Structure 1
Amino acid sequence: MYKLIACDLDETLLNSENKVSSKNIEAIQKADAQGVKFVLATGRGYATVQGTLEEIGLQNKKDEYVISFNGGAVTENKDNHLLHFQGISFDLASELYKRGQDYDVAIHVYTQEDVYVYNLVEEERKHLETKMEVIEISDKNIDFLKDQAIAKVLYMNTDRDYLNQIEEDLKDITQNSDITYSSNRYIEFNDKGVNKGAGITFLADHLELDISQTIAIGDNFNDLPMLETAGLAIGVQNMVPELKEKMDYVTEANHNESAIAEVIEKFILNGEE
């Protein structure tokens, strides 16, 4: 029997208005009543997902959890108690920030609590306005963050080929990084070994669950390590097409049609294997 569901947020749990549908909320609460933990697994920071946790009734709750920063942090929802954190070095973050200024990208720098954005173009501003609050900066370096833990850095551009080329260009400084793509607009730089698969493994171990008792739900490349690790890999209908053949199950519904409720009804409430 499955005991834990790790679920991506953007384009998976959240609809196009960045909300959780009432049908999804009802299903999550039914799963919770059966002792199944519903865990947000996101590239965002844990501080920026509190609104979603409140929507689904899990904000500030003991024995409920969030996997954030693509697996770089695992927190218990009660007081955002940090169980695990693995960020990138300041030197790497600083170099990525400086090198990023040579490209047509918006640069995000994630600390444990805040997101700083350089070159916040209007397209990105609109994309973020209902997702999270960010701090816009114009500094040519991030020396002001030298004493803070940095979770990750990402670049934004909606041209995937352009981002692929940036990845090639930066290989001289990213040998010790885990690099992935998300939301069809970001290239993300985490520390080596940081991914959602490592996050769900840490949490399953913490809860003394066998990994076969876990379900992962996602839609994009940064979800793949989690999907490959979990006992059951589920993609939503709007998933990146290249990944669908790797899934154990692909929902009939997309993220605007309560795909998560479909999963919970099928594999938790009806008990299918």
Structure 2
Amino acid sequence: MKALASDFDGTLYFEDGIKENDQQAIVHFQKHHLFGLCTGRPLIGVQHYLKDCIQPDFYIVSSGACILDKECHVLYEQTISKEIMKAIYQQYHQKAEVSIQADFRIYTLMKDSKIPIAQTYVESIDCIGDEHIFGLSINAVHEQQAKEWTHDLNETYKEIIAFQNKEYIDIVKRGCSKGEAVKKLKELLHLDMVYGIGDSYNDIPMLESADCSFTFHDSPQIVQEKATHIVSSISEAIKMIED
């Protein structure tokens, strides 16, 4: 059995939605193989955009901290402690917008949040439960700032790992990544081949761990160097897989 794990933002989903050619190719691909997501977003951050469009066979969400099957049953999860979550929030919330991924929701303490994903507003960080905290996301606004903060986070906190996704930073338990999740998925679903496709820095672990990987002509050079093939779209990648 073959499976294709796809990043979401900038790979499958764009400002004008999911490309029709990609949607058609994915539906055809799923007749014989598996297609799923491998994203830094939590589950709630993708479901709305896929409704009546694509039904993934699996979900790798929160940068590999959680893997779910097609019915959204948890197959694997790794969480961070509330103490670490609070420490990181306290360090960055006055500099940038920080959201917390927990209990399959996205929590924010900002009423006028600029993040374009359905979020749950809470008045205090203590309103968030102690369990199922998958991670945090920081909107650093600028890519250079995100790069610097990603480095600082990884140097300061040994319990977590931070991944830069352009101007955003995704933070999960150390040992988690899209790449480790792809390996785990292959084991859990007894897959023969796992393909990966993504467009940004946080996709590099997935591109390295997949049996064969794809990225785009306009991806950063370092991302292109990690991919097996450079393509223009998911539909082109699927055609190469099926040929």
Q: TM-score, normalised by structure 1?
A: 0.82
Contact 1:196-1:225 within 8 A present in 2 as well? yes
Tell me whether 198-207 or 172-181 shows the greater mean CA deviation.
172-181
Whether 1:30 and 2:28 are equivalent positions in the alignment is yes
Matched ranges for 1:1-273 at <5 A: 3-17=2-16, 19-33=17-31, 35-58=32-55, 64-78=57-71, 80-102=72-94, 104-119=95-110, 124-125=114-115, 128=116, 132-137=117-122, 139=124, 142-170=125-153, 173-182=156-165, 184-210=166-192, 213-251=193-231, 253=232, 259-268=233-242, 271=243
Q: What is residue 256 of structure 1 aligned with on the other side?
A: none
Contact 2:137-2:168 within 8 A present in 1 as well? yes
Tell me whether 165-174 or 47-56 shows the greater mean CA deviation.
165-174
CA distance in 1 between counterparts of 2:40 and 2:67 reads 12
Contact 1:25-1:55 within 8 A present in 2 as well? no
CA distance in 1 between counterparts of 2:52 and 2:9 reads 15
Report the AA paired with residue 176 of structure 2.
Answer: V
Distance 1:172 1:263, change over 3 A: closer
Report the AA paired with residue 217 of structure 1.
Answer: I
Distance 1:97 1:203, change over 3 A: same
CA distance in 2 between counterparts of 1:171 and 1:264 reads 35
Distance 1:224 1:121, change over 3 A: farther
Unpaired segments ≥5 residues, structure 2: none
Contact 2:63-2:170 within 8 A present in 1 as well? no
- The root-mean-square deviation of aligned C-alpha atoms, in Å, is 2.0
Contact 2:153-2:161 within 8 A present in 1 as well? no
Q: Say which SS state the counterpart of residue 10 (structure 2) adopts.
A: helix
Q: Say which SS state the counterpart of residue 223 (structure 2) adopts.
A: helix
| CA-CA distance at 1:203 after TM superposition | 1.0
Contact 2:153-2:162 within 8 A present in 1 as well? no
Q: Say which SS state the counterpart of residue 116 (structure 1) adopts.
A: strand
Distance 1:93 1:237, change over 3 A: same
| CA-CA distance at 1:50 after TM superposition | 1.6
Report the AA paired with residue 249 of structure 1.
Answer: H
Contact 1:65-1:77 within 8 A present in 2 as well? yes
Q: Say which SS state the counterpart of residue 175 (structure 2) adopts.
A: coil
Identity of aligned residues (%): 23
Report the AA paired with residue 228 of structure 1.
Answer: E
Q: In the comparison of the two structures, how many residue pairs are matched?
A: 243
CA distance in 1 between counterparts of 2:123 and 2:199 reads 33
Structure that is richer in strand per residue: 2
Contact 1:41-1:67 within 8 A present in 2 as well? yes
Contact 1:41-1:68 within 8 A present in 2 as well? yes
| CA-CA distance at 1:247 after TM superposition | 1.6
Q: Say which SS state the counterpart of residue 38 (structure 1) adopts.
A: strand
Unpaired segments ≥5 residues, structure 1: 254-258
